[in-house]
Amino acid sequence: MNGASSISVESRAEELDALGAILPFARRDQLAALLTDDDVATLKYLAKEGIGANTLRALASDLGYLEAWCELATGAPLPWPAPESLLLKFVAHHLWDPVERAEDPSHGMPAKVEIGLRAKGLLRADGPHAPDTVRRRLTSWSILTRWRGLSGSFSAPSLKSALRLAVRASARPRRRKSKKAVTGDVLAKLLATCDGERLVDLRDRALLLTAFASGGRRRSEVADLRVEDLVDEDQVHADPRNAASPLLPCLTVNLGRTKTTTAEDQVHVVLIGRPVVALKRWIEEARIESGPLFRRIDQWGNIDRRALTPQSVNLILKSRCRQAGLDPEAFSAHGLRSGYLTEAANRGVPLPEAMQQSLHKSVAQAASYYNNAERKNGRAARLVM
């Protein structure tokens, strides 16, 4: 890298610092090397326009990947707008037939492109990409093209046809984001590992209870929580139908904009009982008065001012799984989301009520957990036992 290029990368890194509250700090230098000056300017403009933090993170990540792929595949930076031929090349490189690849090594992504992407830590899949990943990156590409005031060929019949045929050829079964759901029994085992007085135990207990009880929040939503998002409410009865039942502490958690909401939505969820007690204990012991709710703690017990990253939330869950004697490879942070709905179904909570807390917009997606629970608990599968 020559001196001018080095200065340019350093300059972009400084520009990306302005997006530090949104973009993952650990990837700042990598993104600075992958993105162009115009890319960084576009991301800063989108942030100024109020685009959601999760959406902006996804756009930045996808843009970095597209820039790296295009440079390796064509020897040139990503053009704006992208020609139809480049879009078709992207599909061909990422969705291919494994059987054909075994007979013809030139089928699919060229070896030099694959090696280059792996060297940059951008490619992990051993086979063709998941169709949803390819569609998402094409969507990000299209959005960024429109934000630049340009029109692309993303609606071209040839691209739609290529996508349809490529998905059929790659025929890869969809993998769950978490092999196993973190249901109530699993959560109890994880919480047992946090039954201590260390700050890290208090934090992890509050984090796990909050993430699960708030409807199975996504790891990015957990990482983004701030003290200012918590609103104390009047105590509520443990049994709302029994005025003599014990009173429990209650909090409203304002989530702002999430993956399934728009900027106009003022979404919130309610926490009652144990999660509230755990949260308040963590806040008190950590002496956090404002800012990020869940923070990194170093080996000496010092609390960082910065928020945990979404990846850290995932690693915390896996670490607690390991301590509980569970296979950490079988669980991920998304297991809290699927586990919440599965647990709600097992306990007979009506689907609309559970969706108010989980904030699922798709009834079909949320209902899949309920259908599975009903099948396991019903008589239809017990005709021969």
Query: How many CB atoms are located within 10 Å of the residue 353 CB?
Result: 10
According to the CATH classification, is domain 184-377 in 3.10.20.740?
Answer: no
CA dist., res. 375 & res. 144, Å (int): 44
Q: Going residue by residue through the chain, which has 385 residues, state the pLDDT in tens, using 9 for 90 and above.
A: 444 444 465 655 555 555 554 455 455 566 666 777 777 777 777 777 767 777 877 888 898 899 999 999 999 999 999 999 999 999 999 988 877 777 777 888 998 999 999 988 888 877 888 888 889 999 999 999 988 888 888 988 988 888 888 777 666 555 556 678 899 999 999 999 999 999 999 999 999 999 999 999 999 899 999 999 999 999 999 998 999 999 999 999 998 755 555 444 568 899 999 999 999 999 999 999 999 999 999 888 899 998 998 889 999 999 999 999 999 999 998 899 989 998 988 888 888 888 889 888 777 777 777 766 666 666 656 567 6
**280: which residues sit within 8 A by CB, 6+ positions away?**
249
- 205 residue type, one letter: R
Angle of helix 351-358 relative to helix 334-346, nearest 10 degrees, comes to 160
Cis geometry, peptide bond prior to residue 81 (ω within 30 degrees of 0): yes
CA dist., res. 79 & res. 330, Å (int): 41
Domain boundaries, the chain: 3-170, 184-377
Q: Which stretches of the chain are DSSP H helices?
A: 3-17, 28-34, 37-48, 53-74, 84-94, 98-103, 111-119, 131-147, 157-170, 184-192, 199-213, 219-224, 274-286, 310-323, 334-346, 351-358, 363-377
